[in-house]
Structure 1
Amino acid sequence: MQIVLKFVKHGSPDSPVARFQAESCTACVPVTTPSFNADNPRETVVALRVPRRRSLELAFDGPRQTVRRVILSGGDVPFRSGPHGVVVQLPPVAADAITAAEVATHIVEPGMVLRFEHADPARRAGAYATGPFPDRQRRAANMLEFAQREVVRRLGLGEEVERDGLGRIQIMGFDTNAPHGHADAPPHVHMHLRWPGDTGTQIGHYYIGPDGLLIENIVGVKGLDAPQRRFGRGETFTTIASDGRALYSHRITTQGWLEIARPGGAACLIKPDGGAGFDAGVRVLCGDEPATRIAVTDDLRGVLTVLTGPLTEVFRYDPDTGASLSPSIVPAPPPSVFVAETEPEPRFVPRTDPRTPY
């Protein structure tokens, strides 16, 4: 099995804080695939191949006091001081666990999940390791992700997907730290319907230009031997559900804006708010309803703020992993509170003629 461990640093040491000691597990092999290993001011990332379903204690060289946490997948694993660094207690791994380097917050709603990536320049890697950091494109992606979430709500798409067992709508942006080799370039956003079983999922890549506007949509299909398709400005791409229905469509307008619609039905337009690009904020216009302004701010320290019209939402997250720290489930009422599953039948129905006795 392939695993990725993230050693979160105390402070910002300018060198790796963990180097695998091969003698601690002779059956384990370092992974040398580019971008699976990393070192930056925030963390040291180490990739290994390990035996399947074995409880292992893996030793790593490095100054113990510089390791604050050890992350596997999306959570912490225990570690202790060793002779030359730290010893990590690895649980039995039954499948590849390679996502530890990701830093994204997931917001889950009926039929939909929004994956918000935190673009930390201190973690830049892969296609974004050098050169100008894509600040403007990432801000545009932030706005577009939450604008698409608003459209999913307005058009009732999530509820339909949930009710009919069609899978899940996934809204995403792009990573700037190349976790587990995911280059994720050029900058783009997604909104695709993940089919049950994945095969057949149509994944669009809505590419964002240096001006913060959309350029084109490149679509691929998971698990099928089908060529990619390109949809330029003014062309409509329709997402097909697993039962064959046309669920929704995307169209990049000639101005580089985005229209999302139910085929032959209601439509919403996402356009920049004020400035030329989406990076300054967006407005969502659905039918004859007043436009709704959306603005997103990520402080990279654990607070994501989303303005939707007059509403302010605050999502708190773990800055080491992106994991949500905000409550997402309403606590259950006490047992003494009775909630009827259906509306009770009336005991009697008044007659239309008031003179007739009941």
Structure 2
Amino acid sequence: MPRPVVDGGLVALAAFDVWQNLFFWGATSSQLAVATLACGALLFRRRFPLTVFLLTVPASLLVEMVVAPLAALFTLGDRSCSRWLLAGCATLSAAASVVPWPPSGIASDDRTWTLIQFVYLLAMAATPVLLGQLVQARRDVGRQLVEIEERREHEQTLHEQTVLARERAQLAREMHDVVSHQVSLIAVRAGALQVAAKDVDAREAARTIRSLSVGTLDELRHMVTLLRASGTTPTELTPQPTLADLHRLVATSAIDAQLTGDLPDGIGATAQRTVYRTVQEALTNVRKHAPGAIATVRLWHHDTHFGVEIINTPPNRPSLPLPGSHLGLIGLKERAELLGGTLRAGPTPEGGYVVRLRAPWEAE
């Protein structure tokens, strides 16, 4: 059902709840004003749950109402993760409903009944809070299950690519070490025969064999290069990533990420791949370990060094342990060391995480 329809129906139900109480007991202008404000505020309960709840407290003091406070508490329980805040709001709602207004002396006999009524109202106020927490937990679990499934598919794809690359590398070694060696021998023997042969036809045949052998060697070298290249399919030759691919990487990272800064176009190919892989691994870790976090990728350079910094905010929802090789940062440090640089990674004081790559210009 569309949200405007649900919100409109909820406001109408809350207004009816207030109207039937004011109809029997009468209403002053102040009671009517606070009740109208509380009911109308329900339209904004999803965007400002705490503010909407606080607007229902004065109405609960002056008017007997049930729907508006409970709806506000449910939305607050669905949107907030602070249990102390939720407990305090439930207690405040129960106290506002049980305490007489304006304040007046309560007889000793009434105090016991007031306490009993407060306990019952507190239990009633806790019910929508717990239901809201249940809905929030269900939504979070569903989101985490989707992330786990996506991560499992990603890991499966990586595994398949690793197996494929291993088989291609093994086939390339066999072709290089066995077939190429034998064809090279044929070319050498044909060349020797071409020089030593007396007969013209024999020399021509040897020249043809040698020419074909050399051409075959060139084809074999090309095939070995293709087999050793990383690809998702046996016939695909994937180009190595460059700095130009960073924008697409950040845009398709499935997280809230922003790329700032730049690096000169003349940076070496190895350094470009290292920067790209560092950003790729860092964004993957953010998506895996910090769901809901915001990431910033900052490229920088000065006279002697260049690098990249990837920093993310704390996650806004809990994460589940996902499968992984735990070797990503180790591989990045090895890449940085090959450039003569360093890679540092660790938590930030704000509760996020940062990965910093720094390398000298000589690394180009």
TM-score bracket relative to the smaller structure? under 0.3
Give the structure-2-normalised TM-score: 0.21
Give the structure-1-normalised TM-score: 0.21
Question: Which structure features the higher share of helix residues?
Answer: 2
Question: Which structure features the higher share of strand residues?
Answer: 1
Who wins on radius of gyration, i.e. which is larger?
2
